[in-house]
Structure formats: C-alpha cells, structure tokens
Amino acid sequence: MIPPLKSPRFTRWFSRRVRSRLRREFKAIYVRGLEPLRLALKSGPALVVSNHTSWWDPMLAIHIGLEVLSADGYALMDAKNLQRLPFLGRVGAFGVDLTSRQDGVRALRYGATLLDRPGRLLWIYPQGRERPTFERLDDFQGGAAMIARMAKLKAVFPVGVAYHFGSDPAPIALVDIGQPLPHRDEIESSRKAQQQAVHARLDDIQAQLSRADGSFPGFECVLESKSNIVAGFAQRLLAKATRYR
C-alpha cells in the first residue's frame, strides 16, 4: 500500500489548479444532492461510492470535496496509477496493489481508520477501473462495503457521474449524489446495495439528458466556464445584430 502524503499547502494550491483546468475544459459542472452530504460531514465522516468513467473523475472529486464541501478528502486508487501520478498522493490519494489480496486488506483497514472524525470524506470507485458511463455490469468490488463495516459507518453516499456533449464544443459534467444508504453488516448485500444505488443515480442522469429542453431540475451549477459566459454574451449580441426583420 502507498500511504497518502497529504500536504495542506499543496492541496490548496492544487485545488486552485484543478478549478482553473475544469473551467477551461468544461462548459459547466452540475451537482444534485449536496445538502445531505454536507450535513453528514458536519457531524461525522462520510464515504462516497461512485462509478468510474473518466480521467476527470478524481478532478471532480477534488473540486467537489474541497471547494464545494470544504471536506478533508481522501481517495483510494490503483497503486500503479498513483506511482504514475504521485502528486495525487499530496492531495489525499492512497494506493493499493490490485493484484495482492494482502495489500488490499491493508488498504481497506487504512481507509477505515481515516473515517474517524467529522469532515473526513473518502471517495471510492468500486468498479476498480474505468467503464462506459451507462454500462450495467455486476462489477462492483466489496472493498467499500468492507470499509463501511470496519468503520461502523452510517453515511455511505452513492454517486453517479456522467459527461455530456451537447450543442457546445465543451462538455458538461453531471454529478448526482443519492441519499445515504442504510448500514449493513453483510458485505455482499452491502456491495449489491451500493451498486444498485449508483446505477439508479446514473439512470436518473440518463433521464435528465433525454429532456427536450436541456434543463437539469434539482441540479445546481457549482462551476461555470468563464469563456462560456463571455461566449454566451457574444452569441446573444451577434444573434440580436443579425436577427431576421
């Protein structure tokens, strides 16, 4: 296991870099369900289980965890990827050797020890690797369920993440945070409940994307591209200047 070498100063600097990068690359980021997670973090730690579909997923997690929720965030990731991107360890990532059962046990125990105080947020991708967003497979691993049991955790939040290209060249990101799952001691039933809850969030996102008016009721915009604001204003001026008489 590779432990995190979290640095508050580096985390603050890197979070600003992430925010700047997201603003350049995305039209907007929309999130739903923030308030229950925010309230849970005020009274205790929380675990997030999410689908994993893109390189951007940890960047979104960093932005939402630190900039939006003001949480003390951590994440479990493949040790090979952490060795390739060691700076993520400075913002709370810790690595597990996915080929070693013994290392996996150490990482899960370590993850459980992190969840010992209010404001701590641990983000886990139980699929273990990137998958197509709306693919439905029975591929969730039981690690998050084991951590929740070891930490006697009540606040386990399912999250669906999707990226969508519409009529604009830049995509939008949709993050749907579900209600906390009830505590389960049995690992397999907990694993299945987490998987079903994340799939339900993705199904709801898919339904939102099919809306003809392109709106996202209940979602709040937590980040919008500066260039999108300027481009939107310029487009409205151009449309007004060239409108049909």
12 is a domain residue: yes
Cα distance between residue 56 and residue 50, in whole Å: 13
pLDDT at 244 over 90: no
Q: Which residue has the tokens 């979070």?
A: 15
184 is a domain residue: yes
3 is a domain residue: no
Contact 51, 133 (CB under 8 A): yes
- Across the range 44-50, mean pLDDT stands at 97
192 is a domain residue: yes
CATH number at residue 99: 3.40.1130.10
17 is a domain residue: yes
Question: Pick the residue with more confidence: 55 or 177?
Answer: 177
Instruction: Output the pLDDT for position 215.
Output: 77
* Residue 36 structural domain: 8-241
Q: Do the bridges between strand 156-164 and strand 93-96 make them parallel or antiparallel, or are there none, so unpaired?
A: unpaired
What share of the chain has pLDDT > 70, as a percent? 91
pLDDT at 230 over 70: no
Instruction: Locate all alpha helices (DSSP H) within the chain, ordered by sequence.
Output: 8-25, 34-43, 57-62, 79-84, 101-114, 143-150, 187-209, 226-241
Angle (CA) 17 23 26, round 5°: 130
pLDDT at 233 over 70: no
200 is a domain residue: yes
Instruction: Output the pLDDT for position 234.
Output: 47
130 is a domain residue: yes
- How many domains does the chain contain in total? 1
User: Per this entry, what is the length of the chain?
Assistant: 245
Question: Pick the residue with more confidence: 68 or 213?
Answer: 68
Q: What is the pTM of this model?
A: 0.88
2 is a domain residue: no
Q: Is the dihedral of CA 86, 100, 74, 126 positive or negative?
A: positive
Instruction: Output the pLDDT for position 236.
Output: 52
